[in-house]
Chains A and B, each alone.
Chain A
């Protein structure tokens, strides 16, 4: 079985739960009191997708403003970016849109974008409607899911969807990125919680 290393970065405002999402995905654990990330932290997880092994090299970036300028180091060469916002914070959704813009301008041309509306367990305090977010995601052909790292909702799904959209390596070694990307525009947000 072929092993592919896929660089994935997590972007988004400070405190939206990027690190928690990675911990849930990699360690299946949750800690409500984690420290803010410095620079970025790195973790890996290998999953099987069809007849390939996808080893995700996950760069979980710091959301704090002072590390903002470092982001290109992490999305450079990335096969996918998970942009996270907090459904209880409208601001974090605006930040997300800025990240999308930056990726479009400076990111790798074929990067798979996944939008994760985290903390969906706190729907009482919701500020971002699911429909608005979903419409936005569709308009930019991004994967969309609402997640809860705390309750382990939709976390694995984010990465499964990414695996699905990763271009297949053809026999010649190149990737047929464009055709696949266009062919799979519709992002499903199955299993909505709340």
Chain B
């Protein structure tokens, strides 16, 4: 089944844009197969039974193989993927799945990229996934407008090939941001695939098509190619900074693998080259500043970008970020234009060409080779941007930015001490992660507290009026609360917190955070209102009213029911049952002809 649809194979593919004046074009990925996501564009209706590939699709959009073949040239063979789902994606995937330049990538390399979903494509996720998504923490929700590509790239000498090298990438395309999990999965799949070819992918896809859906909070057992991976997707109710799954001592990685995290990257390793500046980087990410990471390989660029994005967790980074961005990306022009201010995005790049293209960007992080982690990061001082000219520029942070908060010397000392004492990287990572978590929480708690105060009082909820509205966010009012209940309560850091908030309130991260808070609170109000309504004696009330008003009430209640089901309102258990019996009871009080009409399901 996995390899069906071969009628689509071998079709000629349009040549990607000619970019041969840049180094990046030195590799032109071509060929090969892709595993199917199932019947394209199906609408997940509530009670529909699971079709073949539904389970697979809950985890992955597709799997593809990108290779370089001198004889085939620029040709992508596609198998089983409906053309509409694929044709506009394949050229990006091809280029994003290969390192920009050959240097330094001998052997196996893992990295990830992210790209924008074409606007004409419908999301095909079923309802069962939306329910699953509701319980996920903000930073782990399914991506709405983007896909992730998780890459396992192998480049080894092979004299039997004309080019002298074997170069191939196995790529998983998914909307799920589970970077650690997918890298682990690829580490199992890719080496086997490179040796054993298609039957291997067929087996893997078949395994995945029997996986349980990615539900937060459950311990999932995921068999794949002879190994069982055990993971737990965190929920938004977890205490941040805790892991609920611990690797048992006697693990045999050929039998089962327990992943303590599905998405967290090693912050310390990623930030090691620039760790004197971590606090400034936190501010830049928090404020959604345009930031570019220039690294020697996609592995380093993507790790660093992901580390940046996750350092403000549990806040969700709401702007675009590209762990590995190339000149072939569809947003290349949009993001590098000099006619507008640099956009609020974080880009990870490896192509030296960007040193010139993005010269005008306000904040640039240069990362050297991370393999020399034993060395002390030498760059204590922030560098002037004008010093960044050539490729050979030294690692460091190039910016004119003045942080709002004064520098926390203690965390730097603590980490430095760890380096001297050869503290394990995992422990350093845990220290750094806790530091960022506390910093972000100190920052966000006053906002949470203020926004909670915008909620109307419970007693203002009247079942016979529409639910009360949230009061609007007022910047002045919020700033006033900071005097007494600001971050000074939980953080020892001094500095211009007010300035930081003022700037944050204008950022996409605030906008995204406030939108999701407002949605949650509005739903809570709807839920409270509905619960209040269900406690009323509706029949008694309706006796005093006309038939038309009774019908009107029935229709309104039906709307409420649909809304509650669709939006998964956070209701007390039993509320919906009560609502349904209210509706039934009301309908029974009406004349028979009306009963017939009202019992009909609503026309779509």
Residues of A near any B CB (own CB < 8 A): 5, 7, 9, 38-42, 44, 57, 59, 62, 66-67, 69-70, 73-74, 76-77, 173
Contacts and interface: CB of A to CB of B under 8 A. Distances in A.
Contacts of A38: 1-2, 202-203, 206
B1 A74 contact: no
A76 B223 contact: no
The bracket for how many chain B residues form the interface is: 20 to 34
A5 B255 contact: yes
A59 B206 CA distance: 13
Contact of A39 (B203, B228, B250, B256): B203
Given A7-B255, A42-B210, A77-B252, A70 B203 contact: yes
Nearest to B248: A5
Contacts of B496: none
Given A38-B2, A59-B226, A77-B226, A70 B255 contact: no
22 contacts: A5-B255, A7-B252, A7-B255, A9-B226, A38-B1, A38-B2, A39-B199, A39-B202, A39-B204, A40-B207, A42-B207, A42-B210, A42-B223, A59-B223, A66-B199, A69-B199, A70-B203, A70-B225, A73-B192, A73-B225, A73-B226, A77-B226
Contacts of B203: 38-40, 62, 67, 70
Nearest to A42: B223
Contacts of B252: 7, 77
A39 B196 contact: no
Contacts of A44: 221
Nearest to A35: B1
A38 B200 CA distance: 10
Contacts, number: 64
Contacts of A59: 223, 226
A39 B254 contact: no
Contact of A70 (B2, B199, B256): B199
Contacts of B223: 42, 57, 59
B245 to A, nearest CB: 15
A7 B206 CA distance: 19
A57 B256 contact: yes
A38 B203 CA distance: 6
Given A57-B255, A69-B199, 20 more contacts: A7-B252, A7-B255, A39-B206, A39-B207, A40-B225, A41-B206, A41-B210, A42-B223, A59-B223, A67-B199, A67-B203, A69-B195, A69-B196, A70-B199, A73-B225, A73-B226, A74-B226, A76-B226, A77-B254, A173-B250
Contacts of A39: 199-200, 202-204, 206-207, 225
Closest 3 CB pairs of A and B: A39-B203, A77-B254, A73-B226
B531 to A, nearest CB: 42
A39 B155 CA distance: 27
Interface in B1-56: 1-2
A57 B192 contact: no
Contacts of B221: 44
